[in-house]
Amino acid sequence: MRLKFISLAALLGFGLLILTSSAPKVVAQEGEMTVIDEVIVQVNDDVITLSTLKREAKERVNALKQEGKMTEQQAVDEVNKHQAELIATLINEKLLLQKGKELELAGEIESEVNRRMLDIAREQGINSIEKLEAAMRQSGLDPASIKETMRAEMMKQAVMQQEVDRRIYLGFTSKEIKDYYEANKDKFRKPESIGLSEIWLSNADKDDAAVKARAAELVAQIRAGADFGAVAAANSEREKNGQRTAPQDKGKVGNFELPNLREDLTSALKNVAVGGVSDPIRTPD
């Protein structure tokens, strides 16, 4: 990318008439240079002119005024404060449009512009783009300017999607992906987790030995092949709002990451295989 700042430049050459013959008061003398616009930045083979910058600045001033938080002078001061950022934005837009041409997206974008114009026509009950453009002119709108704005915005979006998104998702080789994974394995690891179900027996106001015996008996039934959910539904005493929960949830407690599991449970489950049943555990609840 070339960036060249130019203080003054004539866009229309030498010795040209500026006004038509119906207003001959302003005529460039032969050999004189007449300034039609001022180039503030050259971006590769394209330019950003002073009139473009002023137009963009005016639109931003109007937008700030419409928010109702600033007077016109305050809005002007605010936009002037960020003029360098505005120029940078215009440069980036030029680069995106140039990249779009390089990627040969113009045909695709033109088809999308026409499709969008046709959608607008249909929404307004108009059956052709030509009639829509005529209606726009009657309303004081310039169809060519509107289509050019749509074209530019769609081109920028298409370039961003094709270039940026593709680099994010498809821009790395298999070796680069593998090397990154090997160097950052911890980022891809998830702690081991387990799903737990319970049969909960209360020893409140009960003989402790009898409760232990009952728990051992239920463990034996399940290890002998009884269905855990059915045994839990029939025997678990866990309650919520005064109602036993096991008939509905079959004793299911939930999934837990091992590092977050209580130490007594981790120890009790250390040698239990998936689908297995632990020995009875005394819990604080």
Least-confidence region, from 10-14, 42-46, 210-214:
10-14
Threshold 0.85, pTM exceeds: no
Q: Rounded to an integer, what distance in angstroms lies between the CA atom of residue 79 and that of residue 181?
A: 46
pLDDT band at 21; cut points 50, 70, 90: very low
* Contact present, 146 and 93 (Cβ < 8 Å): no
Q: Which fold has domain 193-269?
A: Chitinase A; domain 3 (3.10.50)
Q: Around 274, how many Cα atoms within 13 Å sit in the side-chain half-sphere?
A: 4
Query: What was the pLDDT predicted at 1?
Result: 37
pLDDT digits (tens, 9 = 90+) for 104-132: 888 888 999 999 999 999 998 998 889 99
Task: Give the C-alpha separation, 78 to 65, whole Å.
Answer: 11
The region of weakest confidence among 51-60, 91-100, 202-211, 274-283 is 91-100
Q: Where are the domains of the chain?
A: 1-102, 104-189, 193-269
pLDDT at 182: 87
Closest alpha carbon to 61 in 84, 41, 37, 83: 83
Residue 171 — very low, low, confident or very high, per pLDDT cuts 50/70/90? low
204 — pLDDT class (breaks 50, 70, 90): confident
Neighbours of 162 (CB within 10 A): 14
How high is the pLDDT of residue 165? 67
